[in-house]
Structure 1
């Protein structure tokens, strides 16, 4: 193992421990159970903030996956806390879905079924099952998988529809967040459905699930990957008519490695070979979004030729795994060099040396973005997973 990789692995192990410690020390909600909904950039806790299903599902995944490396009981205990809170509060036992958000006291707030959230709960539950063999978590994951297949899968045109009411009726506002287009089929949701399904397949070798994963990867290849440019298409209506949008560098490089991993889990040789090519192609075109300091810019709008000149925490995390994958596939040193430079940038500008965890991001003048340290969209999944993935890959 070369010394740079050895050093990187050591630093990532320390950083993973630091990230997990932050969440255990700062986010446990001792009053209402589970985890607090928000901590601001100055580390002030908002005890009254709503609690998001995505954050809680990602906490479940992160602490379960980290336990495989650390073997620390408090990491497993934190995963168990997340599992129990999700199954008791977020899971809708009446209609078999997942509440999008809860009030701080754990009662339902936004009761819509956002398929993205169900997919993340499956991802977390299956990871938890892999370390505990708790049958309740597996049965819940399978039940949610069946719900998505029953209600969200488009039998006529293929792909998955974004969102539904609590009782699985059509809904007007399909968006994940205010910045998203209100469209029925999105890259982001398809990416995370296949991620959740592939993780479920690792612990539940159901042949029909495997076929669904293969179909999903073929759908993503057909509609969401622009094979000419190497970028992802983000938004479509129900008839697969594309709605023009930005280039999201973080989503591009995340998809590059994650879709290949899903193809490998499904074990389809043809898909694996195609997604290996995409992994390298996407990594190569994502270079256009890397600044000279090694940081990855957030987004680019080709219509206005405008760069969204921010560097958020999560694209840096995904860059590391995406370029490590490209290096593994090609052996080209340039991909490793991109990682080392980006990690240097992240340590200097993104990691909060004083209070722990990572800042949301920085602007082009290196000033810190004054957004959540923990919250609806700020979680330990991207940065925690980058540490976990690279530790495993460097070791193997």
Structure 2
């Protein structure tokens, strides 16, 4: 147990998730995020702007909208529609039309990485981006959007025929526009988000093939590789799925070493997958606990607070920036673990994580969450400019409010079916 946990008497460790004030506070934070991103995010020429610290559009004169920006906005505002947030349906429709009409490659199939008002800018086709198309289409289907079934069928076919490697039980990383290979590289991050999207698609359609793929990815990335590394998640592999410790990559999307934020993300996803799989794969629950504990043990800055962005192979911090998304993922994981495990460790960390978010990340003056802090918790912009993303923070706010039985959008529907108001 951490030093923080020792300071709290056990009688104060009761779950916050059931307390009316905490639930109201969480929904208020979620609504603030919707307010921040809804007002100025729409690019009238298509897609969405990324926003600066004040909520103004970045690069408004020449906006290049990337696939993960558009798809995450669709997913989040589909969630907004499901909880009854006015204005959400228009945001979903704007994003769905942009993805379908502008990012989809009508000639070769699949979806480009980015485009501007004149057409495609980066024509690379990544499993990471296609995972978010699948997530967006799945959430939009639950929200009732007219294009959802068509997009869901289209991206599923692309994933099955182009990305899925049935021999390995994972998705291949990336291709050129004509589907010629780019490099002999495989990454866990794209497979992690594909796991998230496959679970959402399974719950949106009931088609078990999605769930089967998600379980196979988890077995490869966590059951085989992370377990062998004492529950540290390896990020980068060669074409044969052999760990590549020398990989340098891109410090924002593919940083070298290990990334504790992804251990936390997998911690939650494994419990989702275990639940959706009728709780038959018992190894997933222990792995979920171990991943969370290792991220706290190795990734948390005991002096200043917050998670280091990356560690080297000796578990020493390398990139010491404190980003908003690992903290957000930690909250979601702690919420899941607190609901499935009686160990007070997880609930105590749930409280500590929200303390950190409230005191350092949530911008009560300008709105949104600060995306990056220095080691000693001063606002920074070395890696991320402005407040580029609603997805991670919104899910941190909403996941604790709904059943921990699967994907967020479906959990909202499930809660509606069992409520009495």
TM-score, with structure 2 as normaliser: 0.83
SS of the residue aligned with 1:73? coil
Query: 2:268 — aligned with what?
Result: 257
Query: 1:123 — aligned with what?
Result: 135
SS of the residue aligned with 2:373? strand
Does structure 2 conserve the Cα–Cα contact (< 8 Å) formed by 1:312 and 1:362? Answer: yes
Query: 1:286 — aligned with what?
Result: 295
RMSD over aligned Cα, in angstroms? 2.3
Aligned with residue 13 of structure 1, among 22, 27, 32: 27
> Once the two structures are superposed, what CA deviation does each residue of 1:280-314 show, in whole Å capped at 9, x if it has no partner?
11111111222345522222113483342211000
How many residues were matched structurally?
376
Query: 1:64 — aligned with what?
Result: 78
2:393 is the counterpart of 1:383: yes
Q: Please give the alpha-carbon distance, in whole angstroms, between the structure 1 residues aligned to 2:391 and 2:365.
A: 21
Matches within 5 A, 1:94-133: 94-103=107-116, 105=117, 107-132=119-144
SS of the residue aligned with 1:108? strand
Query: 1:355 — aligned with what?
Result: 366
Unaligned runs of 5+ in 1: 173-182
In the TM superposition, what is the alpha-carbon distance from 1:380 to its structure 2 partner?
A: 0.8
Does structure 1 conserve the Cα–Cα contact (< 8 Å) formed by 2:270 and 2:285? Answer: no
Query: 1:235 — aligned with what?
Result: 236
Does structure 1 conserve the Cα–Cα contact (< 8 Å) formed by 2:48 and 2:69? Answer: no
Aligned with residue 302 of structure 1, among 302, 310, 313: 313
SS of the residue aligned with 1:194? helix
Q: Please give the alpha-carbon distance, in whole angstroms, between the structure 2 residues aligned to 1:280 and 1:97.
A: 36
Matches within 5 A, 1:1-396: 4-5=16-17, 6=19, 7-30=21-44, 32-36=45-49, 38-41=50-53, 43-45=55-57, 46-47=59-60, 48-69=62-83, 71-103=84-116, 105=117, 107-132=119-144, 134=146, 136-172=147-183, 184-227=185-228, 229-244=230-245, 245-265=256-276, 267-271=277-281, 273-288=282-297, 289-292=299-302, 294-303=305-314, 305-370=316-381, 371-374=384-387, 378-393=388-403
SS of the residue aligned with 1:146? helix
Unaligned runs of 5+ in 2: 1-12, 246-255, 405-411, 416-421
Q: Please give the alpha-carbon distance, in whole angstroms, between the structure 1 residues aligned to 2:301 and 2:209.
A: 44
TM-score, with structure 1 as normaliser: 0.88
Q: Please give the alpha-carbon distance, in whole angstroms, between the structure 1 residues aligned to 2:244 and 2:15.
A: 46
Does structure 1 conserve the Cα–Cα contact (< 8 Å) formed by 2:322 and 2:377? Answer: no
Compared with structure 1, are the counterparts of its residues 3 and 117 closer, same or farther at alpha carbon in structure 2 (3 Å cutoff)?
closer
Q: Please give the alpha-carbon distance, in whole angstroms, between the structure 2 residues aligned to 1:335 and 1:218.
A: 24
Compared with structure 1, are the counterparts of its residues 72 and 42 closer, same or farther at alpha carbon in structure 2 (3 Å cutoff)?
closer
